[in-house]
Structure 1
Amino acid sequence: MATSVFSRKTDLFYLVFFCIHLVVMFNVDLVSLYPDWLKQKYMLDLRKWQVATYKDQFFVSPPAWFTLYTYLELLYHVPFCLWAIPALKNNDPRVPIQLLIYALETGITTITCIADYMSWTVISRAEVNQLHTLYVPYLAISVFMGVDMVARLNAVVAGARPPPTVAGKKTR
């Protein structure tokens, strides 16, 4: 029987994060990909609120690469979250390698967004700082997750090493 996720606090944090991430993706991030009949008023209102609150130009006039990142969310993040939620709950041994890949991808895409919006001239420095409150936490979580997964994988690899050798012979 798997150790309860409630006793694995970091995994519980990741589990809650992925549950929230799914909701945000379906209700905000992916809305631009939906056919009109699928777009609900509350989804459009959430996006309008995001633009009004954060002056997030990615949702006003997205560059081509941001549209690619949106498809990446649909094709990678959604299935990944659907896998990760039960995997974290059940303490699946594949979690460290899969979450490391996720952390690297998310860190790279998020820092790309941060670098881009920091160059925008259509918003003030205060508005850039407001955008930081939206994007920097995703970067921080991905960095934390990446470091955590590297540490977990290092522990596994260190435990699986063959005995050290001296001049090509095993030591006893």
Structure 2
Amino acid sequence: MDAPAPKSIFARKRDLLYLSFFAIHIPIVFCVDVLPVYPEWMKPEPLLALRQWYIDTYQDRFFSAPPPWFSMYIWMELLYHAPLSAWAVGALMRDDPKVPIHLLIYACQTGITTMTCIAEYLSWDSFTNEQKLSLSGLYVPYLALSVFMGVDMFRRLEKRSAPGATTTSTKKQL
């Protein structure tokens, strides 16, 4: 018995949300987040100006005076988030059965790193509540999406492994 044809991305509303997120996330990673690890010759003025605008607008210390541990997060973005995000765009479009496991791992890692950043900026004594609220407008939705994605992917995997569930390989054997 053949596996059912993949559903259109437009019929999978949550996957469409994730696809939209990753499509937006990829340029942000390369244009803003990982700029500090680029060699000087790879830092074009428009990207430096964009990053400076972000710093001036939000006073986000992770970008202006990052704590020592934050460089590890930048490298995770470059070495894990960027490749996973690129893979996820295609995988979500084709309804790849590996999406739930990969996006569960991504959601857990992203949720933990985002919570760390939130805890850190909430401890910045020199920041007003208004400044912290402004940063929360950027970080909390990212955390919320990570939690939502993690719960969604966990449930998808749980559904697959429930007694009586059939997988594509099981169906092919029948």
Change (3 A) 1:87 1:161: closer
Q: How far apart in 2 are the matches of 1:60 and 1:160?
A: 53
Q: Which letter maps to 1:121?
A: D
Q: Is 1:38 matched with 2:47? A: no
CA displacement, residues 37-67 of structure 1 (integer Å, 9 cap, x when unaligned): 1111121111111111111001111111110
Contact 2:9 2:15 in 1 (8 A): yes
Q: Aligned residues, how many?
A: 162
1:67-106 equivalences in 2 (<5 Å) = 67-106=71-110
Q: Is 1:58 matched with 2:62? A: yes
Q: How far apart in 2 are the matches of 1:122 and 1:61?
A: 13
Q: Secondary structure at the match of 2:109?
A: helix
Q: How far apart in 1 are the matches of 2:141 and 2:89?
A: 20
Does 1 or 2 have the higher relative contact order (CA < 8 Å, sep 6+)? 2
Query: Which residue is equivalent to 2:170?
Result: none
Query: Which residue is equivalent to 1:113?
Result: 117
* Percent of pairs with identical residues: 52
Give 1:2 shift. Answer: 2.2
1:112-131 equivalences in 2 (<5 Å) = 112-131=116-135
Query: Which residue is equivalent to 1:151?
Result: 155
Higher mean C-alpha displacement, 101-110 vs 116-125: 116-125
Segments of structure 2 that go 5 or more residues without pairing to the other structure are: 167-174
Q: How far apart in 2 are the matches of 1:161 and 1:89?
A: 24
Contact 1:55 1:123 in 2 (8 A): no
Runs of 4+ in structure 1 deviating by more than 2 angstroms, as ranges, are: 159-162
Greater gyration radius = 1
Q: How far apart in 2 are the matches of 1:132 and 1:159?
A: 41
Q: How far apart in 1 are the matches of 2:152 and 2:88?
A: 16
Cα root mean square deviation, aligned: 1.4
Q: Which letter maps to 1:53?
A: T
Q: Which letter maps to 1:148?
A: D
CA displacement, residues 81-129 of structure 1 (integer Å, 9 cap, x when unaligned): 1111100000000101110000000000000000000001222110000
Q: Which letter maps to 1:60?
A: S
Contact 2:159 2:165 in 1 (8 A): no
Segments of structure 1 that go 5 or more residues without pairing to the other structure are: 163-172
Q: How far apart in 1 are the matches of 2:12 and 2:25?
A: 20
Q: Is 1:139 matched with 2:139? A: no
Q: Which letter maps to 1:51?
A: I
